[in-house]
Structure 1
């Protein structure tokens, strides 16, 4: 069983002149391993997987897995850190609204050394809750890896109702949820139930979710200053509420700017302003506006990496 606690980063996909920039992607993986994050998400929404063809998706995943393992292989060095002594766990996003096609993708992933699969509800079709249960159950039955549910009705058009989530929690391979529904009642009910690890998916809810007993967060805004997000999580889980509050309040402006325009444009602009990637996206996604880019660049100049 995988542990989905801590701070996880849903990796962007860097581009250079229209192609995937694998060197930049590898550098980002090493950066986040050094920062002490708990794990990475490959091909999540932030990674623009809808704009990648199947071969590109496989290549992106291969680079991420190789780079995550490379840091563990470097542990032979006497000065290797704890974060470098083990492979960094990688969750893989699997999306779609055709259960049979998604089953085929799950089968492809079964042989890979991944921590699990992150699966959202079928988008656009807006199935009944019974259909959602059958869909996730079929995928979990077929998966050799743990399943993390992704409840994000803003994107899919359908939410996972609490009764549905509690039913799915009984499946032995459904282990966690990325909680983006914005329902405090549901979040608290799942935490109190205790069968699913609850990860905040809305970054401004990291503080409240962890304080309430959640397991951590999958936070796109943690691409920048990941050490501070790790420090926030540690402070809260160690009961250092005042310290955690100070860290969180300092991170709020960064989190707000990261989602001031459609994700991942703001975060790519910030990383580009500091030399980590080029400021490139694929249509229909577009770059952050000039005004927001200027604000992000100013943020990058005033805060340490």
Structure 2
């Protein structure tokens, strides 16, 4: 079973004139690799997968796989039509990958038994490791602690992206040791690492990814005081990065660095002017 240790970037999908900007995507991936990230999640929430067709998602995945070894690429897989989701899973799995990032079905709010059956079905069909994405504020349903504990015992489930906002759940997953625990809330990265988590899947790590990697390595080397200092340097940016619906702030910050155009797909909107000015000030304090 794969290990997902380290900082994984939840990759944005750059656009230009409404279409995917593959040139900007390649430049962004290259920049982040230089900063030492473990890998990338493509077509997740931050990648605006909900606004991309399946063909567009596969095109992004195929492009990234041209530039990276498979063990550095996780693909998002989300939906509430299980038949369509499983068919798309089969298409994705024609490629070699590090894993699939899979949340609970959104909107329909299945029961705990329904959640368990859903993840069992996806994991049974998986030819690559599954990273369970626990994010109740997006899916509308909480995976109860004991349900989650049973689900992650499946041999094809290798990790959890933990956006539960429930410290008891985080502690349980780490203590049980069944899966790698990856912080999914960026402000919880330092805490999760110190508690024994494996790393993070992070949207804000597009900016100064080298410092996120540094923080993870400092904790791994038991230099918690230095890691806390690194975290506190990043904290104002982490907070600002989610001042508006993700990935609006991240894309604005990347545009300010000349890496991508500041475009999102409707109904997403670009940042308000006041947010942009706030981001400009924070980024100046994080300059290399």
TM-score normalised by the chain length of structure 2: 0.98
* Number of the residue aligned with 2:47: 47
Partner of residue 100 from structure 2, selected from 110, 113, 117: 117
- Alignment pair present for 1:203 and 2:186: yes
Contact 1:11 1:40 in 2 (8 A): yes
2: CA distance, partners of 1:290 / 1:236: 37
Show CA shifts across 1:48-70 (max 9, x none): 0111112211111111111224x
CA displacement at 1:294 relative to structure 2: 1.1
Contact 2:237 2:283 in 1 (8 A): no
Contact 2:71 2:98 in 1 (8 A): no
The count of corresponding residues between Structure 1 and Structure 2 is 288
96-105 or 6-15: bigger deviation = 96-105
Question: Which secondary structure does the structure 2 equivalent of 1:46 belong to?
Answer: coil
Deviating above 3 A after TM superposition, structure 1's stretches of 4 or more consecutive aligned residues are none
CA displacement at 1:8 relative to structure 2: 0.4
168-177 or 226-235: bigger deviation = 168-177
- Alignment pair present for 1:303 and 2:267: no
* Number of the residue aligned with 1:183: 166
1: CA distance, partners of 2:236 / 2:283: 12
CA displacement at 1:103 relative to structure 2: 1.0
1: CA distance, partners of 2:18 / 2:93: 30
Show CA shifts across 1:107-143 (max 9, x none): 1122212100000001000000101111111111111
2: CA distance, partners of 1:63 / 1:150: 24
- Alignment pair present for 1:149 and 2:149: no
2: CA distance, partners of 1:6 / 1:68: 16
In structure 1, runs of 5+ residues without a counterpart are 70-86
Question: Which secondary structure does the structure 1 equivalent of 2:46 belong to?
Answer: helix
2: CA distance, partners of 1:127 / 1:279: 36
CA displacement at 1:301 relative to structure 2: 3.1
Aligned counterparts, 1:1-305, within 5 A: 1-69=1-69, 89-305=72-288
**Superposition RMSD on alpha carbons, in Å?**
1.0
* Number of the residue aligned with 1:75: none
1: CA distance, partners of 2:285 / 2:196: 33
2: CA distance, partners of 1:35 / 1:225: 8
6-15 or 164-173: bigger deviation = 164-173
1: CA distance, partners of 2:113 / 2:192: 28
1: CA distance, partners of 2:279 / 2:68: 28
Show CA shifts across 1:23-58 (max 9, x none): 000111111111111110000000001111122111
In structure 2, runs of 5+ residues without a counterpart are none
Contact 1:92 1:118 in 2 (8 A): yes
